[in-house]
A and B are shown apart, each in its own frame.
Chain A
Amino acid sequence: MVKLPQIQRGKIYILLAVLSWMGLLLVNLIRVFGEINQMEGVISKEITWVLEILFFIWLYIYFNDSIKKNENRNFIDFIWRPASTGLIATGTSFLIIFFYYLLGDSRLSKDLLLMNFFYHVNFAVVSIFLISTTLSWKHLILYQKSKAIVQQWQAYEVILLISMFFVLISQASFNYGFMFGLIFLIIYGAILSINLKWIPYLTFREKWKSILFMVIIIACTVYLFFRLVSYTQQNIHFVNLSENLFLLGLFVFVLLYAVFSLLVTLFNLPTSSVFEQKLTEAISFQKLSQSIKPGENEEQVLDILMDSCMSAAYVDAGWLELHPSEPEESSKIQLQKFISNGERQEVLELLRKVEPFASYLTKRSGIKKEYLYGQIPHETYKSVLLLSVSVNKKSLGDIFLLKEVKDGFNKEMINIITTFVGQTSISIENHRLLNEAIKNERYREELEIAQRVQRSLLPSELHHNNSFEIDGFSAAADEVGGDYYETFRFDNENFALIIGDVSGKGTSAAFNMSQMKGVFHSLVQLNLSPKIFLSKANSALSRCLEKNNFITTTYYTINTSMKEIHFARAGHCPTLFYSQGKGCSRFLNIKGMGLGIVRNEGYENYLEEGYLKYQPGDVMVMYTDGIVEAKNQENQEFGYDKLRLLLDQYKALSAREIKSKIVDEVYDFVGRETLPDDDYSILVIKFNA
């Protein structure tokens, strides 16, 4: 498939337009020639009309096409184009007159054929001017278009198209039908011409330019109209090309829109600067409200703020004084604009003496109002506006704005400036919050890592053999906790078991817990008796724990062939033991002392070693103080008795079930919604054989 390039399309339209114009010229020349020589009915008028219509249509399509390509031009271009075309058309018309002036009274000047040729040239330039201008107007009318306006314009184009053919229907000039059509076109054109939304967007300079161009366009239109009319009146032999509804309609439309634009632009001139000011304010506001991007800092925002404030109120000079973040530091002067250090000192001296500034500046108390406004007796600067920029209710700094006129700040200016300041505060606050959030996120990630590491410190599997079941549970109050339990297998029948609780909770407890784990794994290999084990652990931990930290723990060794348990208690909660033989639970309360409390050789004296033989069906519950000290909403503790009674109740269940029952009971007691305030750990052993 052959695809025609874009550029050639325009050329084709031009070519077709030129061809139809030449056809028109030829046909009319032949007719005039025939009339002169009294030959009748050579060529019918219809052919002329059709060729004229074709010419209009090609021109319209061509200009429509070329304007579309330049959619992004500014408004002035759209006015300059018709103005220049109008000048060219007018110029051409003048050249023709000048040509006839040169000819004087010669025979050639009376020649109808030549005159007819120039008539056609004139007609062509007028058509070009009118059609190209109409399409420029179209672009302006459709600025900020709504659906309704687009529809209106499309209807107008259809009406114009119909009006071209009107001449074919009714050839009698200026009959009622023609007049009605013309009036309709005028009214419709006038309605379209009220779409002047582009005018406020012109700058002051552009408005003047636009007025100039509009005047040119109006002058050209009027001149060309009368020129065309005079041609027709002088030469009755010609086919009247201008008596086409389309052409007349365009004349009216072009003129109307130009006049409307001219008037509106003219009346817009005085308010132009206000509109421009509002536009810059809107842009400033947008700049300030955009949150500070990564890589930018607060100073850049403050800089924008200063510039915005100064342009919003036509401020002559100003500076920003940043308050120190630390009380010892002195204030920092920043963003000093259009004022020297000397003058600034002078003004500041004056401000310290003049109310309302004096009380604020000397006391450094917060401004109750958003701003302070007053006059000073300075030789250059007469009025002062002082604003305080605060972030998170903390004052960041003061903005001083000076004007050389008295009462230089009106209410609107102060309003917009305080809005700017408010927006800046929000921007900076957001910026700081974001930074903080990023930092917190990092801490949170670190804590998550710590949590994972600590979880891995607790055993995932507990050593045991067929003689007993064992199950454990641990939950930390914070992200990481200080509870610890672990098992160790010496051989098939001998096991070691430890449960511990580090004083305090949270991160520091977690660190100490990992030390405890290290100590356990080092000492357990030595297969020591519980008392010796704890004494050595105490000696090791005394060297690493902080002065006011201690660890409570109970260490057990279990021999399943002898069915005996040895244990020693280092200040840890007494083990709860259910004895099948006795049919009840009791706490194994033996003497003991927390690890790290007595940091010398005497420690062993405070320990006692317990020994017991177990039977199948016996249950041992090891736990940390978080369980018995868990508090409900009435501030009552879960307590030892409740725990003991629970075991009496559930002793027949498996180790896993007993553990779950106790844990559930504790959580129910505390309330599911309340966050635990201590670490909970529990370990249950049930002896089967």
Chain B
Amino acid sequence: MLTINKTAEKSHITIALQGEVDASNSVELDEVIQEALDDNIKNILVDGTDLQYISSAGLGVFMSYLEDFNEHNILFIIYGLNEKVMNVFHILGLDQLITIIDSREEAEKLVHEA
């Protein structure tokens, strides 16, 4: 089960993921990110506080947008991941490519600095 909440704020949007991302629902995640890209949003935060599990298909979604983020100078930050999910990002090496930080405050700080 995956619930995605998208909240737009002045400087950025926050995509909150709740539950599990797997092969069956990774498309939903993909759609949300694609939407944000289409809307020309420059700062995208992903709230992973309630993300319990992410499968390789879910990781594939983030991975497939890395180039787009670089190209369009988009700040893409994931925050609040629990240890287990963080470990998944870490093992794959995605933490070297995506800014993954602990808290929302830090994330917002980064957005303001940019």
Contact = CB atoms under 8 A, between A and B. Distances in A.
A570 B55 CA distance: 17
Nearest to A678: B55
B59 interface: yes
Contacts of B66: 597-598
Contact of B94 (A505, A570, A597): A597
Task: Classify chain A: how many residues form its interface, as a range.
Answer: 20 to 34
A661 interface: no
B56 A597 contact: no
Interface in A675-689: 678
A464 B66 CA distance: 41
Nearest to B60: A548
Contacts of A548: 30, 57, 60-61, 63-64
| SS of A interface (majority) | loop
A609 to B, nearest CB: 14
A515 to B, nearest CB: 16
B80 to A, nearest CB: 20
B91 interface: yes
A549 interface: yes
A574 interface: yes
A591 interface: yes
B60 A503 contact: yes
Contacts of B94: 594, 597
Given A501-B56, A503-B57, A504-B56, A550 B96 contact: no
Contact of A625 (B23, B56, B63): B56
A552 interface: yes
B92 A597 contact: yes
Among B61, B91, B94, the one with the most A-chain Cβ atoms within 10 Å of its Cβ is B91
A201 interface: no
B96 A549 contact: no
A549 B61 CA distance: 9
A547 interface: yes
A550 B63 contact: yes
A591 B93 contact: yes
A576 interface: no
B92 A594 contact: yes
Interface of A: 501, 503-505, 547-550, 552, 570-574, 591-594, 597-599, 606, 625, 629, 637, 678
Enumerate the 8 nearest inter-chain pairs by beta-carbon distance, A residue then B residue, closest first: A593-B93, A503-B56, A548-B64, A548-B60, A571-B92, A547-B64, A594-B92, A571-B93
20 contacts: A503-B60, A548-B57, A548-B61, A548-B63, A548-B64, A550-B59, A552-B92, A570-B93, A571-B92, A571-B93, A572-B91, A591-B96, A592-B91, A593-B97, A594-B63, A597-B94, A597-B97, A598-B97, A599-B67, A606-B96
Given A504-B56, A550-B56, 11 more contacts: A503-B60, A504-B23, A548-B30, A550-B59, A552-B56, A571-B91, A591-B96, A593-B93, A597-B93, A597-B97, A678-B55
